[in-house]
Structure 1
Amino acid sequence: MEYTHDVIVIGGGAAGLTAGGGCALFGLKVALIEGHKMGGECLNNGCVPSKALIASARRAAEAREEKRAGVQLAAPVIEWGGVHAHVHKAIADIAPHDSVETFEGMGCEVIQDWAKFTGRHSVEVGGRTLTAPRIVIATGSGPFVPPIPGIGDVPYLTNENIFDLAEQPEQLAIIGGGVIGMEMAQSFCRLGSQVTVIEPGTPMGRDDPESVALVVDRMTREGVRFVKGKAEKVAQTADGGVVVTVDGGVEIAGSHLLVAVGRSPRITDYGLEEIGVKTGRGGIIVDERRRTNLKHIYAIGDCRDGPRLTHVSGYEGSRVVLEIALGLPSKVDYRALPWCTYTEPEVAQIGLTEAEARAKYGDALTVVKEGFDHNERAIAEGDTEGHLKVMLKGKSVVGASICGPNAGELLLPFSQMITGKAGTFDVGGAIIAYPTRSEITKAAAFKAWEPTVFGKWPKRWVAFLAKIRRMF
């Protein structure tokens, strides 16, 4: 078969851009196909706009604080048009990184249209039939909307349209207490909306409970209302708002409703069933090398069954580049998988949580906990809320949970320790700039060795040396 390309990549989000751009930079002939917006979910209605909104909300929150460190700020004056402009400026400023021109410059043929498989090696797009020996599916995911009675009869928001609001919600009801729900709840509350979070379980349920408790407490003090229960039905009110009925009969009214209960893989209308690609409830089924059951077709990022995070998508894209361009079999390694929820305080996790580690290692597990109330940078800043928990099997790190300002920035050394690229002894003995919050990492790492360093045999050796020195 004579192929039109070496590689076809379907999807121009984090996963597809990494895979397509990487292969093109190695000199392969790449077709990069995107039917909607270049940059995908993260750039257009995910990570970038949400973090821009969080930044605006943080400024408002700081201005509301009582006098701190001897300084009193003026009360915030919030202009929604300015917040909206800031969010969309962030998108526009980052968009060139993911643009058609950028990837054409790398050597990709970028095609802006929708693709569909017509065979196991062929894809139809824009009236053309493209063929390649390797194909990468990177079609991403979209917001999952649960089948709540009445949901189809009311206007509701998801992450795909909440950042386009021309006016600020007066009352925002949020179904879902996960990452999106919690970040948006705190942000809109800080910007002046009345916010209610409806969650049947524990908010941020995959994170460390001690860390989550600090976040929920902070958000409650700031004015967010939490209602524990399942949304049973939704109805529109006479004034165009919504009312959510929670099991038990509690009714939550809102001018706006945000649905934030998870993600669904985008895998329909691409012809996958017709060519025999196997899928499951969580998305396209792949092996550790991100290959589908048709080994020349890969599925990476949110469309496949697995973790849905932007940095995971980029990581898998790079793994596929090694496979396709260099012929190096590359299994994914998620022992040190990090994630962060950008509430205040931030909650960051890498590797196993304490609960997961205890379930796996039982009595062989040691948990080291360091509070920021002992960190001198935090004390000097007057912000000591939060902690670091390190899960150790022997002296090896298997996970870490961090809660506090910029918690996500402290994850990198734990990635190195979990994967064996650095040890707790190395980090515990490192020279760390003073005063920094990262000193908490060194303190926790040293605790793994403290019993050994100051144990019986080192003390006997020190006593022996001291005795010898006294003799001369």
Structure 2
Amino acid sequence: MANLKTDLLVIGAGSGGLSVAAGAVQMGADVILLEGGEMGGDCLNYGCVPSKALIASGKAAHAQTTAAKFGVANVDPKADYAAAKDHVADVIAQIAPVDSQERFEDLGVKVIRAYGEFISATEVRAGEDVITARRIVIATGSSPFVPPVPGLDTVPFETNESLFELRDKPGHLLIVGGGPIGMEMAQAHRRLGCEVTVIEGAKALGKDDPELAAIVLEHLRDEGIEIAEDAMAKEVRGTAGAIEIDTEDGRVFKGTHLLMAVGRKPNTERLNLDAAGIETTRGGIKVDAGLRTTNRSVYAIGDVAGGLQFTHVAGYHAGLVIRSALFGLPAKQSTDHIPWATYTQPELAQVGLTEAEARKAHGDKLEVARFDYSHNDRAIAERKTTGLIKVMVVKGRPVGASIAGYQAGELINLWALVIANRLKMKHVANMVAPYPTIGEINKRAAGAYFSPKLFENSMVKRIVGLVQRWLP
């Protein structure tokens, strides 16, 4: 057994932990990184990367069935499900070196491939080693939550951690959970030739603006995906290839495969947090605004800290921790400027407050600027006219933006920048966007905000009339 000492110990080599380790070691800190599973964590191996790769396969297949509107004959695509999974594996393999043990060791990080367990407030056991650290960062992420539905313990099912290893195409995929993961995988599998039914206990895409979620859901239904809402799973039964789900309201859904996509749970079981005096909540490890736990020497970031569960949030947390742990500077997290996107087609994206949240917070002070994709020339040329942007504005300053439509995940970047830097609608209106681009939708939303103030204002018209009368 070796006794090691370090400035900074990072537990977990997912996106957040890797960002902390890379930043800290390059700034001169002595860093040890622990990982008992796969380098790159959930995002690289089971989450963001493989899901977007499979979505791309589905998109390629779907394009062949919808080419006629561009003057190209539709064809029936011969989707090879196993080959699509080969594509997924290749994408992971191309990105993996960036997250690899070798790269981080080259940077100067000591990487130990073992899970960490606290044995005191400042000590962690990892395999045969005991590590004492001045500062510790817990970045262990989250895992699929599997609810205790009767019968589920005897029926084969997939989660995001096993789905991408599946090689045989499901005949009829049942998906329990209508959140982003469920809806993305529903569309990808439908486009690759599977029958798909989504079973959601409340409302599908229920965390997003309902008006915009409805745009996406209508499109998914048009592609042949059955979406059952207010359908709480009561019992699961069957065997591989013949699975049935009963819901509380008496409906019965039958399929060949089952994907559980009802949410995530924080990975805290192995950590022995009590030994370090670290408290938890239902959502994860309890942290303050600076991401410190109840043990002031220990931070928690990303999914394990509760809150928004996105890779980019873990990266954001990493920057705050580096500022605090390495430089002793104040750091306080905020979620006001954090965007997210669901990569269905059309996409769905959000930053800041939704319309309902903004009305509750700001009442009559709120103005909502709207612009429809059908008035964007590039969207017309691309046949991508289904979509809408809404920007929530208070006293000229955006407090939220919601987008459903083509490239919504790209468009939301601008509004994240605007909200993060407390810019106003005038700054977006002053931007010159190249024509014709989808990005013009953002500028036109700003125009929709100012148009009533300029073109429907009698005072403005009187002033223009007077100026024209007096101009030489």
Structure 2 length as normaliser, TM-score? 0.96
> What is residue 73 of structure 2 aligned with on the other side?
72
> What is residue 21 of structure 2 aligned with on the other side?
20
Q: Does the 8 Å CA contact 2:122/2:276 hold for their aligned counterparts?
A: no
Query: What does the per-residue CA deviation read over 1:42-74, in whole Å, with 9 as the maximum and x for residues that have no partner?
Result: 000000000000000011111112611211143
Query: What does the per-residue CA deviation read over 1:300-359, in whole Å, with 9 as the maximum and x for residues that have no partner?
Result: 001112111110011101110111122211111211111100011000111111111111
Q: Does the 8 Å CA contact 1:243/1:253 hold for their aligned counterparts?
A: yes
> What is residue 277 of structure 2 aligned with on the other side?
276
Q: Does the 8 Å CA contact 1:27/1:107 hold for their aligned counterparts?
A: no
What is the aligned length?
Answer: 468
> What is residue 400 of structure 1 aligned with on the other side?
401
Deviation at 1:251, TM superposition (A): 1.6
> What is residue 243 of structure 2 aligned with on the other side?
242
Deviation at 1:101, TM superposition (A): 1.5
> What is residue 342 of structure 1 aligned with on the other side?
343
- Mean alpha-carbon deviation: is it higher for 208-217 or for 386-395? 208-217
- Mean alpha-carbon deviation: is it higher for 348-357 or for 411-420? 411-420
User: Does 2:180 correspond to 1:179?
Assistant: yes
Q: Distance in 2 between matches of 1:179 and 1:247?
A: 23
Q: Distance in 1 between matches of 2:411 and 2:214?
A: 20
Listed as ranges, the matches of 1:100-139 within 5 Å are 100-139=101-140
Deviation at 1:468, TM superposition (A): 2.8
Query: What does the per-residue CA deviation read over 1:172-207, in whole Å, with 9 as the maximum and x for residues that have no partner?
Result: 111110011101111111111111111121101011
> What is residue 5 of structure 2 aligned with on the other side?
4
Q: Distance in 1 between matches of 2:372 and 2:174?
A: 34
CA RMSD of aligned residues (A): 1.5
Corresponding residue SS for 2:69: coil
Listed as ranges, the matches of 1:368-387 within 5 Å are 368-387=369-388
One-letter amino acid of the counterpart of residue 235, structure 1: R
- Mean alpha-carbon deviation: is it higher for 134-143 or for 444-453? 444-453
> What is residue 233 of structure 2 aligned with on the other side?
231
Q: Does the 8 Å CA contact 1:395/1:449 hold for their aligned counterparts?
A: no
Structure 1 length as normaliser, TM-score? 0.96
> What is residue 467 of structure 1 aligned with on the other side?
469
Listed as ranges, the matches of 1:44-443 within 5 Å are 44-65=45-66, 67-228=68-229, 229-237=231-239, 240-443=241-444
Deviation at 1:460, TM superposition (A): 4.4
Q: Distance in 2 between matches of 1:403 and 1:227?
A: 21
Deviation at 1:215, TM superposition (A): 1.5
Q: Distance in 1 between matches of 2:252 and 2:453?
A: 58
Q: Distance in 2 between matches of 1:222 and 1:445?
A: 33
User: Does 2:455 correspond to 1:447?
Assistant: no
Q: Distance in 2 between matches of 1:234 and 1:81?
A: 27
Q: Distance in 2 between matches of 1:295 and 1:232?
A: 43
One-letter amino acid of the counterpart of residue 243, structure 1: E
Q: Distance in 2 between matches of 1:458 and 1:250?
A: 60
User: Does 2:33 correspond to 1:32?
Assistant: yes
Deviation at 1:30, TM superposition (A): 0.2
Q: Distance in 2 between matches of 1:451 and 1:169?
A: 52
Q: Does the 8 Å CA contact 1:169/1:255 hold for their aligned counterparts?
A: yes
Q: Distance in 2 between matches of 1:61 and 1:175?
A: 24
Deviation at 1:458, TM superposition (A): 4.4
Deviation at 1:168, TM superposition (A): 0.7
